[in-house]
Amino acid sequence: MEAFIWITVHALLMAIGWLFLIPVGVYIATVGKRSPSLRDRWFPLHQTVMLMAACTILTGAIIALLNTDPHFARPHQILGPLLNFLLVGQVMAGLFLHWSHTDASPAEGVTLPELGITEAEEEPRYFLGHGHRILGLLLYIGGYFNASVGLYDYLRLLQNDIYKLFLSMAFGSMIGIQLIIAYSIFGAWWLNSGYGCPFRWCCRRQDQEISGDGQPLLNSN
């Protein structure tokens, strides 16, 4: 019974981390940075949310490690540690990019010499910045998938049908929320990566994104 309680705590922490905090952090870093009201303060918000997510998820992972046996016996137990490892690397990469004196790539119309750096100095950060964006999107998708698998495993342990119904309804609501915000996240992610907007169903028109002074929003990272 004690082990089941700890697994329940693990499930709650992972749901909060992967299904709430990570999507919010990704939303801030994609949609928020293109918003006139958040473009000057999106990073502190993104950083805070993602650090909270990492701490929540790693705490849940330690609880599962200490209260399950055998380890790595199911797909959820294999994919989970991999995602946790990548999440730690993602957080470290994000902090490195921020502590450096420029963003992953200069804003439109700003040259590297104007920023006081050489192309040789910027090139590693440029590739790390793109890798950070790509890995962030993969973690967003992979975390949601693994949380779904974990919830399925958890529901199999429950004996009370009322609890199963309640959790199934809660998870169904979460799917709906994810689909709503994913529309904006994928479109903004594509634009922030500098790829333009080839799919109108996915991306907002770039010329419709207006800054607070009425000028087109820079397609910067």
Q: What is the mean pLDDT of each run of 10 residues along the chain (221 residues)?
A: 82 90 90 80 90 95 87 88 94 82 44 49 69 90 88 76 72 73 77 62 45 42 42
Neighbours of 28 (CB within 10 A): 22
Cα distances (Å, whole numbers) of residue 117 to 96, 109, 114, 123, 212: 16, 15, 8, 10, 29
Query: How far is it, in rounded angstroms, from Cα 53 to Cα 26?
Result: 11
* Stated length of the chain: 221
Structure confidence at residue 118 (pLDDT): 52
Structure confidence at residue 194 (pLDDT): 67
- CATH class of residue range 2-208: mainly alpha
Radius of gyration of the chain (CA): 20
Kindly list the domain boundaries of the chain, sorted by start residue.
2-208
Cβ burial of 121 (10 Å; 0-12, 13-18, 19+) is: middle
Sign of the torsion angle spanned by Cα atoms 36, 42, 43, 44: positive
Query: How far is it, in rounded angstroms, from Cα 19 to Cα 66?
Result: 23
Structure confidence at residue 55 (pLDDT): 96
pTM of the shown model = 0.72
Structure confidence at residue 81 (pLDDT): 93
Structure confidence at residue 219 (pLDDT): 42
Structure confidence at residue 103 (pLDDT): 46
Read off the tokens for 175. 């799917």
Structure confidence at residue 131 (pLDDT): 87
Whether the CB-CB separation of 204 and 188 falls below 8 Å is answered with yes
